Each structure stands twice: as structure tokens, then as C-alpha cells.
Amino acid sequence: MPVIRLAMAQMNAVVGGFAQNVETLGRFRTQAATAGADLVLTPELSLMGYPPEDLLLKEGFIEASRVALIEMALLDNVPPVLVGTVVSEGLEDIALAPSSDGRDVARPAFGELGPPHIANALVALSDDGVVAIATKRLLPNYDVFDEQRYFHPGVGPHTIINVRGVAVGLMICEDVWIHNGPAAELAREGATMLVVANASPYARGRREEREAMLRERALETNCPIAYVNLVGGQDELVYDGQSVVVNAQGDVIARAAAFSEELLVCEIDARASTQGVPLASGYAGDDSRLTALHVNRVAEPLSEVEEVYQALVMGTRDYLRKNGFRTAVIALSGGVDSSLVAAIAVDAVGARAVRGFAMPSRYSSEHSVADAQDLASRLDIDITTIPIESAHSALGGALSDVLGGDPHGITDENLQSRIRGVILMAISNDTGAIVLTTGNKSEMATGYSTLYGDSVGGFAVIKDVPKTLVYELCRYRNESAAKVGDPEPIPSAVLTKAPSAELRPDQRDDQSLPPYDVLDPLLELYVEDDATAETMIALGHDPDLVLQITRLVDRSEYKRRQMAPGVRISKKAFGRDRRMPITNAFRQETL
């Protein structure tokens, strides 16, 4: 059987960063040439980043993508490449080269769905120009995806190119997920190998789901399948890479690393075929097939907790880097949440770029201040202590006439939190540093946070991390440090003391909420699985507790709508996934 040497460019694209993306793609094509690759496969919309959202509605953006594709065609002595981009209806914006044997280029047709006049496409580009274009058939419109707002679906015959006597069928992301869908159609039309360009966001358990699906498609089509995925952070989303190749029996024969840019080079056996548009090119390749290169590398999968931690680090790093922030500031309370955020921030951007602030009040315990200092020492970050007692007393006095006495209860508690928020934002304004908030998913779900207080900031690192997982991640980070002989970054006292906001004497979280090991399973059922209160009670959960928690979640939507974006690590995060109306009279009550 013929053998194709495929180079899969698992790249970190920048949304709207055409110059950066062209440079990255050029670098990968040059590396692929050195590796003797026959073809380079890039992720979905690799030329412009994913998801571009309403940038696609701007005429200048589409024109910029056309210009960037032309720049891609100007590279010499590099392998042909499959570029993820958009094409306009009628294809007037792309110069199409005739094939070397005089046949017309593969021209896709557009369906009628959607108001725009563009399609999500995979363009086969050689030094002869554009030789084929495949358009995405199935447009996802669920979870974080909203593609029917932007794209027309592809219709008509599928696109097949011929590389070294192998008929390679071109696909984009969602098209490969459906049984008896585009993959099966491509096989029936003569494809003997399938390649898939993807922008598949990370969520816990996603790698296993992808590889199980690819095994099903390979067995269904009797074709090897190469699946390349984006890597990197984009607002709330983070892409894990983990590009993979399966043979016709569905066995993994190559896998790229998680959360790292990589050129994965794989030699793939496929059935010979004369079908498809020939991928003619002046590029001769390297017949020596470099033996020093690690071909068909199968990276070891990460554990689930390590995947989550690396997702949080990459999402934080890319949010800061891509938005121009050089430094970050964090309120260090001596608690577990701020300790984890500080560790992630240091791993993301380095200790010199992270600064902590301890802001004790009259209710802060000595051990909490000491724990914050200990954490900063272990992470080697600067920490500044700013007591808030004088501001607390001054503001309390200023409000006493308005309130008919000194602030008390929740008013006084929130006042302390808001003072801290004002301090952090003043430092942010003065230094240009971004404030990283420290609230977790359990708190955001139940509204156990202060608007314009502990919620203030530019990026919510652990926004999608339930409290019980916060502890797991801290233990993982300590264990990973111990394995290489480094000091454990999270002090043991932080992991053993009862969680508390310390906004009143002897306060503990479990005075306002159930214990987190009871709360988090309920929140997972209600928020991520959309279970009804009746279903949760039928599963054995206490009826009064179920109704208390569902009511807390429902009435806190207005708070969540004002929270900073944060890394998505679950299959349903607050924000892009869960779009609930703020004004909403529906409540989960038992029948």
C-alpha cells in the first residue's frame, strides 16, 4: 500500500491575528519540509483563529483572510498545505488554479442555511495556488458553538485530493462525529484516507470521547483518519491539542502532546486509488525520509487532574499574553482558592510577573495572614500587606447616617470585600497589571460572592472549577512539585483548615452552604446535567436541600452575568454554554 508522510500542525492560533498565524503556519511548513512530509494538515480556521464570532460579519475581516491566504501561497519549497479558513459564496475572493492535468479545481457548493455568504472551509494550497476547497457540512449550534449564525453549510459532492496515489477526503470537525454522515459519504465516493481539521475545545473526558468516535468512523469507513486539533486559550475556551491518527482498524498510531504546540509527523498506510484531484506541486519532498525524526510518536495521555491543571495554566497564560498583559495581581487571603490561583498564575507567566496582596481586616485570623505569607515565599512572589481597618472604619462611619447606624450583617461583610476590590483595581490602574479573581464554580453557582468585591477583576481563573476539585488540584500541584524535589507550593495548613471568608467572627462557609462534598454533586446535576429538582430528589438527595440549592442558583444569574471570563474545563460552564435569562420566573419546584 502507498504510504503518506503527513505533518499535522497542532498550532496556537490568534483570533484575528492573520500576520501571526501566517508566520506560525509558515514555520510549521518549513519544519514539515525538513521532515520530508508530503502534506501539512492544519486545524479548523487556522488562518484566523477559532472562534472568530462576529468578526466574520465584518467585510474587512473576510478581505484580510483572502490576503493572508495569498501570502500563504508565496512560500517556496514547502509541502502542500490544507489551510483552515473561510471562502465566500461564488469563490470570487480566491484565485483557483487549474489542476496539472487540466481538470477543474474541486469547487464546493453552498447550502441555503444562514444569512452570511461564507463557508467554513479547508483549502488545499500548493505552489500552484488553490487546487481544492472543502466546505464544512454540519454546522454545530449547541454548547459553545454558534456556527449557523455565520456559515452556509457545504452541499454536493465531497472534496477528495490525490496524494501519492492515495485518495484523501477532506473534512472539518463536526463532519466526522456523525454515523453514516460525511465520513461514510467520502468513503463511498472513493476516499481511502480521511483528514479532519478541528477546533475542539477542552472539557474533562473529551480526549477519550474523541478517540472512541474516531475508532467508530475508521471501522465504518475502512479508512485511516488523521485528526488535527487547535491548542491554546481563547477567552473562556482552551484547546488541548492531542491531535491523533488512527489506522483503518481504529488503533491509535500517533498522538500529539496535550496543551503544547507541536508538529506531529506520521507515516500512514492507505489503500491505493486514482480518485481525487491531483495535488500537483513543484515541491519534490525529501526522499531520504529522515530517520532521525521521531515519526508516529504516541504521547502518553495525562491524568484527568493534570489535564485540568494544564488547561487552567494555558488558558490563563494565553488570556494574558494575547491581550497584552505582562503582570497579574491577586488578593491572597491564606485560603485554598487564592492559593491555587497564585500557583496557576506563577506556572503560567512566571513568579516575577505575579504580585500578591494580603488585605487583613479586623476579622482576619493570624494564621490566614501567615499562610498567605508562607504561600508567597514558596512561590517566590512578592507580597504586600495592606490592612483595611482604617478604610473599613472610615466607610462605616460615612454610611452610618444613611443606614441609621453602623453597617452590620451582610452589608458590613460586603463592605470589606468591596474595599479590597477597590484597592486591587487601583493597583491595576496604576501598574497595568490584570487582577485575577479567585472565586470558584461552587461559589458562583450559589451566589456566594460579593459583586464589585471578591468578584472584581479581569480574569476568573477557577470560575469553572468546583470547590472539591480545587482541593484536588492543590494536592496534585504539591505532589508534582515533590516528585521533582521542589518545595510544595501550597502550605498544608491551607488544605486542612475549614473554608471561610473571614468577614465576621468565627465565620465558616458551611454556615451558609452545605459541605462542599454534598453541594458539588448537586450543582453538577443541576447546572451541568440540567436535572430537575424532582429528578435530584428521586436520586436520594434531601428535598429541602435540593430546593435550597436550586433556588440559590436560579436567583444568582444576575451576579454571574457580571463576572469576569474564566477558563472552561467542564462540558457546561457559566457563560458561553449556559445562557439563562436574568429576568426569569420559572423555578424548580416539586410537583
Residues involved in catalysis? 44, 136, 173
Which residues does 201 contact at the CB level (< 8 Å), separation at least 6?
Answer: 144, 237, 238, 239, 568
Judge contact between 135 and 160, C-beta under 8 A.
Answer: no
What the block records as the C-alpha cell of 530 is: 440540567
- Among residues 206, 239, 276, 289, which one has the least CA distance to residue 3? 289
Which residues does 7 contact at the CB level (< 8 Å), separation at least 6?
Answer: 28, 31, 32, 35, 37, 39, 40, 41, 79, 263, 264, 265
DSSP 215-275: HHHHHHHT--EEEEE-EEEETTEEEEB--EEE-TTS-EEEEPPBSS-EEEEEEEE------
| Beta bridge partners of residue 245, listed in sequence order | 226, 254
What the block records as the C-alpha cell of 496 is: 486542612
Residues 191, 168: Cα–Cα separation, whole Å = 6
What the block records as the C-alpha cell of 284 is: 519534490
Helix 543-555 × helix 516-523 angle, to 10°:
70
Helix 304-322 × helix 336-349 angle, to 10°:
60
Residues 38, 105: Cα–Cα separation, whole Å = 20
Q: Where are the alpha helices (DSSP H) in 58-140?
A: 59-72
Judge contact between 416 and 386, C-beta under 8 A.
Answer: no
Judge contact between 134 and 158, C-beta under 8 A.
Answer: yes
What the block records as the C-alpha cell of 248 is: 483503518
Q: CA distances (Å), 199 to each of 2, 85, 242, in order?
A: 29, 12, 11
Residues 567, 341: Cα–Cα separation, whole Å = 12
Which residue in the block uniquely carries the three cell numbers 487583613?
Answer: 360
Question: Other CB atoms closer than 10 Å to residue 507's CB: what's the count?
Answer: 15
Residue 486 DSSP label: P
Residues 590, 66: Cα–Cα separation, whole Å = 56
* Torsion of the alpha carbons at 52, 57, 62 and 63, rounded to the nearest 10: -140
Q: CA distances (Å), 420 to each of 104, 454, 463, 559, in order?
A: 66, 8, 19, 18
Which residues does 240 contact at the CB level (< 8 Å), separation at least 6?
Answer: 202, 206, 207, 229, 231, 258, 259, 307, 311
The residue length of the chain stands at: 591
User: Cα-flanking dihedrals φ and ψ of residue 179, to 5°?
Assistant: -65, 135
Verify cis geometry, omega within 30 degrees of 0, for the bond prior to 466.
no
Enclosing H/E stretch for 402: helix 389-403
